[in-house]
Structure 1
Amino acid sequence: MKEFHILLVEDNEGDILMTSESIQEYDPGCHIEVARNGQEAIEKLQSNMEDPLLKKPDLILLDINLPRKNGHEVVAFIKNQLYLSSIPVVILTTSSAPLDIQKAYQAHANSYLTKPTEAEEFSKMVAALVEFWKRNVHL
């Protein structure tokens, strides 16, 4: 099976660690790349568009509340680029605000998940997410 590449866009170091550990615990073969703000995510994705030798992500996990460019701006950028628009974007955030959810889906995010506060529940959710996108969905 080919390597599964995840772009994690998250500014909270604790959430980066928890998400990465949960993914690696579930599937050590996943490659995780981290962008710590929205602008950095856009720059990484632009590099993918400019250099066909760079592997584009199979899945993007995106927080909403990010510095420089917020998650809404990032998902809108992704879905407006022909080369990137087919990449699934999962919003993974603490916000359960109806306006954030509405804006994410209007920008064509593939799903919107609110991070559980319990570490064990968070880990289970991340494992289920990777299971769904890596093993069940045809990308």
Structure 2
Amino acid sequence: MNNVLNILLIEDDAIEVMKLNRAISSLNLDHNIIEANNGEDALMLLEQNENLPDIILLDLNMPKINGVEFLSILKNNEVLKYVPTIILTTSSNQKDLLECYKIGIAGYVLKPLKYDEYVLKIENLLNYWSMNELIKA
């Protein structure tokens, strides 16, 4: 049986937020989505919340603190560094990919243009993480 995940989605594009919520709903998944519009808001949420998310889905291109900057801050925190962070982005830039893996991401998923392909990727991603043994930091 798969676990219900607490997911922190860090995404500044309202359409992308709606798309993820719609995909999860269409798959009849009961995961809890917490939304942050940018890295700065996400850090405030993480610092104020005693219940850390099971995974973080992170966009790279955001205002205030971009995804790479957020990731660097996260991985330098002794508690937060253990939260698996998956990049969910449109950037196929090899430099971004390498930089994120150097910092310590758990995965890098490109958002496909076709909605059906997007839903399939989200389903596979969440199925994996809901059966994976997660550390409770």
The two structures have a TM-score, normalised by structure 2, of 0.91
SS of structure 2 residue aligned to 1:85:
helix
Change (3 A) 1:122 1:102: same
Moved over 4 A (4+): none
Displacement of 1:9 = 0.4
Identity %, equivalent residues: 32
Superposed, 1:1-80 pairs within 5 Å as 3-48=4-49, 54-80=50-76
Paired residues of 2:4 and 2:130 also in contact (CA < 8 A): no
Partners of 2:90 and 2:65 lie apart in 1 by: 17
Paired residues of 1:24 and 1:30 also in contact (CA < 8 A): no
Higher RCO, 1 or 2 (CA under 8 Å, sep at least 6)? 2
Task: Give 1:99's aligned residue.
Answer: 95
The superposition leaves residues 108-137 of structure 1 with CA deviations (integer Å, 9 ceiling, x where unpaired) of: 0111111101011001100110000012x1
Partners of 1:104 and 1:69 lie apart in 2 by: 15
Partners of 2:86 and 2:28 lie apart in 1 by: 18
Partners of 1:46 and 1:35 lie apart in 2 by: 13
Displacement of 1:24 = 2.9
Structure 2: where are the runs of 5+ without partners?
none
Task: Give 1:86's aligned residue.
Answer: 82
The two structures have a TM-score, normalised by structure 1, of 0.90
User: One-letter code of the match for 1:34?
Assistant: E
SS of structure 2 residue aligned to 1:90:
strand
Q: How many residues align?
A: 133
User: One-letter code of the match for 1:35?
Assistant: A
